[in-house]
Structure 1
Amino acid sequence: MTSSDGFMEYDGGLHASDPGGVPASDPGGVPEQLQPPQTKAAADLALELSRLVGAASATSVQKNLDITTVGEMLHQFPRRYLARGELTQLDELPLEEEVTILARVVGLSTRYMQKRKGTISDVVITDNTGRPSPLKISFFNGYKAKKELTPGVLALFSGRVSLYGRSKSLTNPDYVLLPDDSLAEHEAELQAVMPVPVYPATAKFPSWKTENVIKALLPALDLRKIADPVPAQYAAREKLMPLWEAYEQIHVPASMEDWPRAQKRFRYQEALALQTALAQKRSGTKAQQAIGRAPTTGALLEAFDAKLPYTLTSGQQEIGELLSKEISAEHPMQRLLQGEVGSGKTVVALRAMLQVVDAGGQAAFLAPTEVLAAQHLHSISALLGVLGEGRLLGGPQATNITLLTGSMPAVARRKALLAAASGEAGIVIGTHALLSENVQFADLGLIVVDEQHRFGVEQRDALRAKAVKPPHLLVMTATPIPRTVAMTVFGDLEVSELTQLPAGRAPIITHVAPLAEHPMWESRVWARSREEIDAGHQVYVVCPKIGDGADDGAELLESGDLLESGDRPRAGVLEVVEYLRSLPALSGKRIEVLHGRLDSVDKQGTMAEFAAGAIDVLVATTVIEVGVDVHNATLMIILDADRFGMSQLHQLRGRVGRGGHAGTCLLVTSLERGHPSRKRLEAVAETNDGFLLAREDLNLRREGDILGAKQSGGRSGLRMLSVLRDEKLIERARADAVEIVSGDPTLKEHPALKLEIDTFVTEKNEAFLERG
C-alpha cells in the first residue's frame, strides 16, 4: 500500500516505495535505505542520527523536527495510538492544529474549478458513528487521491484543520493507506491488531515519516545496553518497565494494552530528570553567600506600618514574616509570590523592600512595560507618602524612590542613574532600562520582578550581576498558576500564594454578551457604558489588536495569550475608537486610546488622565492587563473575548472594581453557542476564582502554550508529563530529586541521570527552567 508521497508499509511501518516514490537523495522525503541492519551494536544515545539511519534521513529529520541525535529521535514519542478498528472521533478535532486521523472513505467526487484550470476532488469519510463526516477533505488536482481513495479504503490523513465556511476541512492532506482487517494475507492480519502510533507532526513531516525513521532506528540499537537514568530503588518503587522494553513498547506496541506501561515509565523518568535539574539549581543557590538584611527597630518599615490606613490580611502578614526571615539569611532568597488580582502583592513586596533599605541596601523593582513601571511608581509613592520623599522632607527614616525607563529625557535619566549609583534612591523602579550596562547600584540587596514570564533568564542575571553579592529575589505574578505547575515551571523558586482579597474589594460580576444569538445586545453594551459614565464612573474597552491594517506583531508581545479562532477579523483599537466616537449613546464623552505602539510620554499621559477621571472611555489593548489601578473604573467591555485565554480574561477584569465600587465585565463574542471558546467564556463568567480558572484553562488548552514552554518546531518543553494529571508523580519525583542531589550534588554517582538531563533538559528547555 502506498502513501500520497510514495511511502509503503514495511514491518508495521513505512518505507520508500519504488517507481513514483521519493528518490533516495531527496532530503524532503525519508530515507534512502530503511532495510534494518542485521546486527544491533549502538547503545550511545548521543550518537548523530545519520550514523544509524543515513545522511538523507537525518537531514530531513533535522530540517523538519530539529532533531540530530539518536536519543532525541528515540524520545520523539507518539502523542497517541489508534486502534485500527476504532476510527477517529471526527467531531472533536481542534481548529488550526496539525492532526492525524484514521478514517474510512465512503465516497469521492471530482469537479472542475470555475475560476482556474484543474479539478477539486472531495473525499467523504466516516468515523465510528458510521455517518458521513462533516469534515471536508479536498484535493486540488488530486489525480493520485482520486485513483487510490476509493469507497471502503482505510487511511491515515495528516494535515492542518482549518475552517471553510462553517465546516472544518483538511486541504491536500498527506495520507497513507492501511491494510484492513478484511485483507486475508497473514502479514496483514498480524498488522491489523497492532496500534497505529501517531507522532507529533508538522506540515511537511507527517506522523508516518517519523514512524518510518523510528522503525529503521530500533533494529540498529542494542537497547539493553542503554544505561537507565532512574536509580534502581525508585524504579522498583514505581514498578517501572525495564528501559529497553519501554523503548520497544512505546514505539511498536503489540496491542493497545502494551503502550500505557511504557508511557508510565517515561513520565516518571522525565519528571525525575526535570526535578533533579531544578534541585541542582536550588542547591547551587543555597550554597551562595548573600548579605543578610535583618529588620531594624524604629526605622522605615515600622514607620510605614504605623501609617498604613488598613490592616493587612492574614495571608499578607504570614508571607511578610516569611520574606522577612529569608531576607535576613546569608544565602539568597528565591521566592515566587503569586496571588489573585488585587490580593495585595505590591504591599507585601514593598514591605520587603523597606526592610532591605533599613539594612542599608537598595531594592530594584523590574516591570515589563513603561506604563506599568509608572503605575508602580505612583502607587508605591502614594503608599509611602512623605516617607518616600527623602530625609529632607520625610525625616531620618525616609528614603527616595526613582524611576528609570528607556524613554526618559536625558536630564531626568542622568539624575536617576546618579540616585541609583550613589545610594540616594533606596527603591529604583524601572523597565528593561535597569539592565543597561551604565546602570549601577551602591548596594543592591533585593530584586523584585513583576510578571516574571515577560523576562528571560539573561535579563534577570544582568540585574543580579549589579550586586556585590547575590541579591535576594522576589518574583511576582498576578496570573494564578496551579501549584504543581508552579512547582515545575518555577521549580528553582519556593512558592507562596496570596488567596485573600483585602477588605473593601467588591466582587466583579461577569456576563457573556453573545452577539450570534442576540445581535441587538451590541447597542445595549454601549448604552450600559453611558449609564456607568452618567453615574460618575469610567469604562475600559479592550481589543485584541491595534488595527489600522499595520502589522500588530509588536502588540502581541504585550499579549502572548492571544488565541486564533479561525479567519474572523479581530477588533482593533483604532477602528473601535472611531466607531465609539460616532455613537449617539456616547455623544459628548471623551474617548481615548492606549496601545503599545504609542510614544511612552503619550502612554503615560493618557493613563494619568484616565486615572484623574478626565477620560470617560479608554479603548486599549492588553497593555492595561496588569498593575494598572484606576479606582473609578467600574465597567470593562472585552471585544472578541474568545481571542483571549481564561487566565488573561481574569487578569483584565481585575482592573475594575478596585475602589470599593462594584465592578462589571462584559465578554463580547460573535461565536455561536457550543463553540469550544464559548465554553471558556462561560467558565470565566461563572467564577472569580483565578486558581480554579487556571486549572480549567490548562485542561482546555495545550500545556506547552500555557506554560510558556513552547519550543522551536512547535514542541513543548514537556514530552510525556501532564502537570495536572501527574501531580502526585511530580511530587514524588521532586522528593526523589532532592534526596539524590543532597547526597550527590554533581551527579557523579548517577551518570545516566546526568546524561538524561544534559540531553533533554538543555538549551531548548532553558527558558522553561529559568522562568523563575
Structure 2
Amino acid sequence: MARRAARPAPALAAVGDTPLAVLPGCGPKLAEKLAARGLTTLQGLWLQLPRQYEDRTRLVPIGLLRPGETVQVEGRVQAVQRGFRYRPVLKVAIADDSRGTLVLRFFHFRSAQVNQFRVGTRVRAYGTARPGQAGLEIVHPSYRVLEDDGSEGLGESLDPVYPAVEGIGPVSLRRFIAAALDRLPGDDELELLPAPLRAGMPSLREALLTVHRPPREADLGALLAGTHPAQRRLALEELLAHNISLRRQRIARQAHAAPVLGQPSLALALRDSLPFPLTGAQQRVFDELRADLSRPLPMLRLVQGDVGSGKTVVAAMAALMAVADGRQAALMAPTELLAEQHMASLSAWLEPLGVRLAWLAGKVTGRARAAVLGRIASGEAQVVVGTHALMQEGVEFASLALAIVDEQHRFGVHQRLALRDKGAAGGDSVPHQLVMTATPIPRTLAMSAYADLDVSVIDELPPGRTPVRTVALAQSRRPELVERIRGACAQGRQAYWVCTLIDEPEEGEGPAAAMKIEAQAAQTTFEQLSTQLPQLRIGLVHGRMKPGEKQSVMAQFKAGRIDLLVATTVIEVGVDVPNASLMIIENAERLGLAQLHQLRGRVGRGSEESSCVLLYRAPLSQTARLRLETLRESNDGFLIAERDLELRGPGEVLGTRQTGLAEFRLADLARDADLLPRVQQLADALLEQDPAAADRIVARWIGGAVRFAAA
C-alpha cells in the first residue's frame, strides 16, 4: 500500500475543540455541570451518543395496545382521580376513537399538573403500557397537552435519549447537542479514516447525524440493538482508538531496556526434578517466555490457562531464569491464602535447587518484617512471594528482573505497574512482567483489552485429570446432598460445601458487610451440618477469620484430617486437594459463570470421578438458568468465558475498575467482536501511514483518559 502523507486538519481542531460557551443558553453554571461529566467541547457533545430512542413519529390506537409495548398515544381526558390517603397518586383516564381507555398514573406531581388535566383536554403521552387495576396503564409517561385545533404534528425523526447529566434536564441536554450538531464540519474536515479503509461504511459525519437524528424510516430495532450501519461505523472508530492507545503504550514500553535472562540451566533442572512431565502446552508457553526473557526488551506477557492447567510451574521456571542470572524475581497474589499456596509450592520446588525464598504479607510486622526487607534489599532473597505488601513503600529490591502477577484481573493496573517500578530504580532498565490468570479471557477481550500484552495459552490439562460431572438441584433436595456427603466421606473422599450471600448488604455498607453476611451464612451451615453429620470431621473457612486460622484449617483439609470443608468463596483459587471429589455450591444462581467455574475447579484434581452440585433457589431468572445450563454442559473454561461475556458484558468479566478497562461510549466487545480483525488492520495501516491521524483518533475518543499508565 502506498505511503500516504499525514494531512493536517486545522478545521477539526478549530471546530471540535470549541468550548461549549459558544452555544446559546450555555452559561458558566451549565458549562460547569457539563464539564463535570467530561463535556467541555463541541466534539464532546458530538460523541455524547444516545443510549436509546423513543418513536414519536406515529400514534398507536389505544384499543390496539398490548402490555409491554412502548408507544405514543393520543386521547381526550375522560376522568381524573387524585388520591390523598397513605400516599398521593394521580390517575388520568384518556380515550380515543378506537374505543380504548388508558390510565396515566403519577406518583409525583404538582397541583399545576392536576389543573392541566381537565375533562375533554387532548393529551399526547409516551411510555410503556402495563396491566393495572382497571386495564392498561402507563406510569409516569412523558406527555404534552395539545390545542384543540389539531395543529401539533408528529415528529419527523426518532427522539434520542441521552445518558443523564446531573443538574441538566433531558430537554436542555438535547437542545445543546442539537446546537453542537448544527456546527458539525463537512466530511473533508471531520473524516480521519481514508475511504479505502472504511469501505462499505458511512462517513463519520453521516454516522453521527444518523445516530443523533435517525430519520423516521430508520430501523428502530437495529438502532436499539446497536447494529445499525451508522452505529457500527462509530463503534469501529472507537475500538480503533482504544487499540491504538494500547499499542502506543506498548511502543513506549519498548523504549526501556530490560535485563537479558538467557541462562536456562536452573529452569531445566526444575523441569527434570518434577515428579510429573510438563504437558506440551506448558513446554510451549515456557519456550515463549524463554524467548522473551532472552531479549533486551521488557516482556509483558499474559499467560492464561484453565483451572489446574499448571501455570505456577511455568512461572517458577521463568523465575529461575532470573535467579540463574544473579537477579531476583517476585510473585504477587491477590490474597494471603493464594500467596501462601504459591509459597508452599515454590518452596517445595526451588529450595532443593538451592534457591533462597522470602515471604512478605501484611501480617508480617515488626522485627520479622525488617528482617525480610533486609533480605530483599540485599539480594539474599532470590525469589520473593507475597501480596499487595510487595508494592508498599520501604520494599526495595536489589535487582528485580521479573515481576509475576497472579490473577491479574484482581489488581488495579497501577498496582501492577507499581511492582514493576520496584525494579526500575536503577535507571532506564525495567523488569520483565508476567501476568497470569486462571480466568480464561475470551479471545475478543484479549484482542482489545489486552492489546498491549503478548498472550500465551496453556490449553491442555495434565494427564490423569477427570472431567467434573456437574448437576443443578433445587434447595428442596438439600437432604439428599447431606446423605451423598455421608457416603462419599465414608469411602475416604473429601468434600467442599461453599456458602455464598443469602442476603444482600444494605446500600452503602460495602464489601465488609458482604463478607460478614457470607461468614454468617457459612457459620450457620457449619453448625447445621455438624448436627446432621456428627460422624464427620467438619472444618470452617471464611474471609473474617484471621489468616493463621484459615491456613491452619486448609492445611488440615489438605492433610486429610478434615472430611468436609464448609467455606465461603475464599477458596475460589489456589486450593489444591486432589482427594476432594465433591463440591456443593449453595445459592449458585448468585454467582457469575467465571466464579462458578473457578470454584468447580477445586475438585477433579485427582484421578477419582468428581462431581459439582449447583444448589439453587427457585424461581430462577432467565440469566441464572442460562449460567447453570452452561456449567452443566461444559468443562471448557474458554467456552464458558465466551458465554460469560455474552451474559455479563466486558466490564463485569474483567472487572472494569480493577483492570482499568475503559468504558466504551458505544462499542460493545461482545456485540462488535467481528469488527476486531478489521480494527487491527486499520491500526496497522494508520500507525504506518498516518501516525498523526492515529493520534487524533485516540484524542477524539479517549482524550486524556489514558487507560494504562505509560509502561
TM-score (norm 1): 0.77
Per-residue displacement from partner, 1:415-472 (whole Å, max 9, x unpaired)? Answer: 3222222222221111111012211222111111111112222222221122242111
Using a 3 Å threshold, how does the CA distance of structure 1 residues 575 and 556 change in structure 2: closer, same or farther?
Answer: closer
RMSD: 4.2
Instruction: For residue 681 of structure 1, report the CA deviation from its aligned partner.
Output: 1.7
- Asked whether the equivalents of residues 585 and 613 of structure 2 are also in contact (C-alpha less than 8 Å), the reply is yes
Q: Give the Cα separation in 2 of the matches to 1:702 and 1:604.
A: 35
Q: Give the Cα separation in 1 of the matches to 2:93 and 2:538.
A: 52
- The residue aligned with 2:6 is none
Residue 51 of structure 2 corresponds to residue 79 of structure 1: yes
Q: Counterpart amino acid of 2:246?
A: L
Per-residue displacement from partner, 1:528-549 (whole Å, max 9, x unpaired)? Answer: 2333333323332323349897
Residue 359 of structure 2 corresponds to residue 403 of structure 1: yes
- The residue aligned with 1:216 is 179
- The residue aligned with 1:319 is 285
Which of 251, 256, 265 is 1:288 aligned to? Answer: 256
Instruction: For residue 62 of structure 1, report the CA deviation from its aligned partner.
Output: 4.7
Secondary structure at the residue paired with 1:414? Answer: helix
Residue 26 of structure 2 corresponds to residue 58 of structure 1: no
List aligned pairs for 1:177-576, cutoff 5 A: 177=143, 188-189=153-154, 191=155, 193-201=156-164, 210-219=173-182, 221-224=183-186, 227-228=189-190, 230-235=192-197, 237-257=198-218, 260-296=228-264, 299-382=265-348, 384=349, 388-389=350-351, 394=352, 397-467=353-423, 468=426, 469-515=429-475, 519=476, 521-545=477-501, 553-554=510-511, 572-576=518-522
Secondary structure at the residue paired with 1:377? Answer: helix
- Asked whether the equivalents of residues 376 and 398 of structure 2 are also in contact (C-alpha less than 8 Å), the reply is yes
- Asked whether the equivalents of residues 672 and 678 of structure 1 are also in contact (C-alpha less than 8 Å), the reply is no
List aligned pairs for 1:77-226, cutoff 5 A: 77-84=49-56, 101-102=70-71, 112=83, 116-119=86-89, 121=91, 139=107, 144=113, 155-157=125-127, 173=140, 175-177=141-143, 188-189=153-154, 191=155, 193-201=156-164, 210-219=173-182, 221-224=183-186
- Asked whether the equivalents of residues 102 and 137 of structure 2 are also in contact (C-alpha less than 8 Å), the reply is no
Using a 3 Å threshold, how does the CA distance of structure 1 residues 719 and 119 change in structure 2: closer, same or farther?
Answer: closer
Per-residue displacement from partner, 1:505-551 (whole Å, max 9, x unpaired)? Answer: 11111111223xxx2x1222333233333332333232334989798
- Asked whether the equivalents of residues 94 and 101 of structure 2 are also in contact (C-alpha less than 8 Å), the reply is no
Per-residue displacement from partner, 1:652-690 (whole Å, max 9, x unpaired)? Answer: 111122233332222222131563322222222221112
Per-residue displacement from partner, 1:119-172 (whole Å, max 9, x unpaired)? Answer: 4759999xxxx9999xx976256874896699996644499x9xx9xxxx9997
Instruction: For residue 592 of structure 1, report the CA deviation from its aligned partner.
Output: 3.9
Q: Give the Cα separation in 1 of the matches to 2:361 and 2:664.
A: 36
Q: Give the Cα separation in 2 of the matches to 1:117 and 1:547.
A: 29
Q: Give the Cα separation in 1 of the matches to 2:502 and 2:620.
A: 27
Using a 3 Å threshold, how does the CA distance of structure 1 residues 602 and 154 change in structure 2: closer, same or farther?
Answer: farther
Using a 3 Å threshold, how does the CA distance of structure 1 residues 673 and 458 change in structure 2: closer, same or farther?
Answer: closer
List aligned pairs for 1:36-51, cutoff 5 A: 44-51=15-22
Using a 3 Å threshold, how does the CA distance of structure 1 residues 710 and 196 change in structure 2: closer, same or farther?
Answer: farther
Aligned length: 670
Q: Give the Cα separation in 1 of the matches to 2:210 and 2:31.
A: 23
Instruction: For residue 374 of structure 1, report the CA deviation from its aligned partner.
Output: 0.5
Q: Counterpart amino acid of 1:680?
A: R
Q: Give the Cα separation in 2 of the matches to 1:137 and 1:183.
A: 23
Q: Which stretch shifts more, 688-697 or 674-683?
A: 674-683
Per-residue displacement from partner, 1:552-595 (whole Å, max 9, x unpaired)? Answer: 6235899xxxxxxxxxxx97331342244234422254444333
Q: Counterpart amino acid of 2:250?
A: R
Q: Counterpart amino acid of 1:490?
A: Y
- Asked whether the equivalents of residues 709 and 765 of structure 1 are also in contact (C-alpha less than 8 Å), the reply is no
Per-residue displacement from partner, 1:216-259 (whole Å, max 9, x unpaired)? Answer: 3323x243288436332554x43332333322221012234387
- The residue aligned with 2:652 is 705
Using a 3 Å threshold, how does the CA distance of structure 1 residues 231 and 505 change in structure 2: closer, same or farther?
Answer: same
- The residue aligned with 1:625 is 572
Per-residue displacement from partner, 1:85-109 (whole Å, max 9, x unpaired)? Answer: 599999889xxxxxxx546599999
- The residue aligned with 2:583 is 636
Q: Which stretch shifts more, 205-214 or 148-157?
A: 148-157
Q: Counterpart amino acid of 1:335?
A: R
Secondary structure at the residue paired with 2:566? Answer: strand
- Asked whether the equivalents of residues 449 and 475 of structure 1 are also in contact (C-alpha less than 8 Å), the reply is yes
Secondary structure at the residue paired with 2:16? Answer: coil
- Asked whether the equivalents of residues 124 and 137 of structure 1 are also in contact (C-alpha less than 8 Å), the reply is no
Q: Counterpart amino acid of 2:88?
A: G
Q: Counterpart amino acid of 1:241?
A: P
Q: Counterpart amino acid of 1:218?
A: L
Q: Give the Cα separation in 1 of the matches to 2:211 and 2:91.
A: 36
Q: Counterpart amino acid of 1:760?
A: W
Using a 3 Å threshold, how does the CA distance of structure 1 residues 674 and 623 change in structure 2: closer, same or farther?
Answer: closer
Q: Counterpart amino acid of 1:69?
A: T
Secondary structure at the residue paired with 1:572? Answer: helix
- Asked whether the equivalents of residues 405 and 434 of structure 2 are also in contact (C-alpha less than 8 Å), the reply is yes
Secondary structure at the residue paired with 1:475? Answer: strand
- Asked whether the equivalents of residues 637 and 665 of structure 1 are also in contact (C-alpha less than 8 Å), the reply is yes
Using a 3 Å threshold, how does the CA distance of structure 1 residues 154 and 638 change in structure 2: closer, same or farther?
Answer: farther
Q: Counterpart amino acid of 1:761?
A: I
Q: Give the Cα separation in 1 of the matches to 2:180 and 2:539.
A: 61
Structure 1: state its 5+ residue gaps.
1-39, 94-100, 559-569
- Asked whether the equivalents of residues 501 and 521 of structure 2 are also in contact (C-alpha less than 8 Å), the reply is no
Q: Give the Cα separation in 2 of the matches to 1:186 and 1:157.
A: 22
